[in-house]
Amino acid sequence: MPRPQSGVLPPANRHAVFLTLLLNAGQDAGRQTRRILARIPQILEEVVASDTQAGLSCVVAIGAEAWDRLWPNGPRPTMLRRFPLVQDGARAAPRTSADLFIHVRSERADLNFDLIRSLRKAFSCCVTTAEEVHTFRYHDMRDLTGFVDGTENPEGQERVETALVGLEDAGHAGGSYVHVQRYVHDLDAWERLSVDEQERVFGRTKADDVEMAAGVKPATAHIKRVSIKDNGEELKILRHSMPYGTGAEAGLYFVSYAKTPEHFERMLIRMIHADEAGNYDHLMHYTRAVTGAAFFAPSLDFLLES
């Protein structure tokens, strides 16, 4: 089995940076970018050497349109496609432009900065920046809403089975489909709710993170809408979402890794679209997505051989 990139499977760190990039026009930009991608593991190791205990890792992922520019004659991940456009009335998940996605994380914000700076220098010849977002762990792994985030994340071997492509697409085994969205929270509106009202929006208790009983949990609760079973098995994604914020704007940078894009796509549709009974994710009253992009993170071996 080809090795995944270093940042896909490990548990969350205290600090992360999410960088989306746009390829410059012209064939040279594509050729140069491909050469730089093969150097990323070496660039990472040079920064890791300054503190091997900080858990510094990196993932680079490529969008559908950029993939064809980088490997016009090479194998393409079988399910790589653009971010889905999902809308129901005022609720929407926008698609925004991004060709490359870089996910850097560790226990030290300064090392993240060093690595991002090195990667920016390497790519300066052939890309422009779409967005750079610095994120942080909030209290005991909570979203800015005050609720624990990532409770349903798989553990152990299940992380591998959830996040990594296998022999079903042997040429891209060890890779992962990545979806990213930046959400902006309306924290003032959220904080006007009582704790009981907030818990009904999420479907879990706030203080101790206990899921509501099936007979009590509303059909509009967030965890109810994103919990999907197919032939008796729950559809899983590996979340690496992190809070971000300034005095002017704050929210969640959502990131999912999975062996197929279908799991995320089905969850997103259930969040946004009302079902026949009119149920949708009521968390959407208090947050809105302002970006959305889809990528494929090839295996480490694929990068090195590219």
Active site residue 149: yes
122 Cα distance to chain centroid: 23
Mean pLDDT of 162-185: 98
Kindly state whether residue 6 falls inside one of the protein's structural domains: no
Please give the torsion angle defined by the CA atoms of residues 50, 295, 297 and 127, in that order, rounded to the nearest 10 degrees. -50
- The band of 92, judged by pLDDT with boundaries at 50, 70 and 90, is very high
Residue 248 lies in a domain: yes
The full length of the chain comes to: 306
For residue range 200-232, list pLDDT tens digits in order.
999 999 999 999 999 999 999 999 999 999 988
> What confidence score (pLDDT) does residue 75 get?
87
Q: Is residue 8 part of a domain?
A: no
Percent of the chain with pLDDT over 70: 100
Contacts of residue 187, Cβ cutoff 8 Å, sequence gap at least 6 = 144, 145, 250
By three-state DSSP, how is residue 25 classified? Answer: coil
CA dihedral in degrees (3, 19, 124, 70; nearest 10)? Answer: 50
Domain count for the chain: 1
Residue 306's pLDDT band (cuts 50, 70, 90): confident
* Structural domain containing residue 76: 15-305
Q: What is the mean pLDDT of the chain?
A: 97
DSSP state of 100: E
Tens of pLDDT, residue by residue over 56-91, are: 999 999 999 999 999 998 889 999 999 999 999 999
Q: Is residue 1 domain-resident?
A: no
Q: Identify whether 110 is part of a domain.
A: yes
Choose the catalytic residue: 99, 143, 149, 281: 149
- Assess contact for 127 and 33: CB atoms under 8 A: yes
| Helices 27-48 and 109-123, axial angle in degrees (round to 10) | 150
Q: Flag whether 164 is in a domain.
A: yes
Which pLDDT value is given to residue 112? Answer: 99
| Cα dist from 267 to 125, 159, 262, 272, whole Å | 38, 18, 9, 9
Q: How confident is the model at residue 10 (pLDDT cuts 50, 70, 90)?
A: very high
3-state SS, residue 198:
helix
Res 1: pLDDT: 84
pTM of the full predicted structure? 0.97
CA 195 centroid distance within chain: 28
On whether the CB atoms of residues 225 and 270 are closer than 8 A, the answer is yes
Whether 105 is in a domain gets the answer: yes
In a domain, 44, yes or no: yes
Q: What is the pLDDT of residue 73?
A: 87
Q: Cα(297)–Cα(295) distance, rounded to whole angstroms?
A: 7
Q: And the tokens for 300?
A: 């480490």
DSSP letter assigned to residue 220: T
Q: How confident is the model at residue 35 (pLDDT cuts 50, 70, 90)?
A: very high
Least confident interval from 25-39, 100-114, 125-139:
25-39
Residue 74 pLDDT: 81
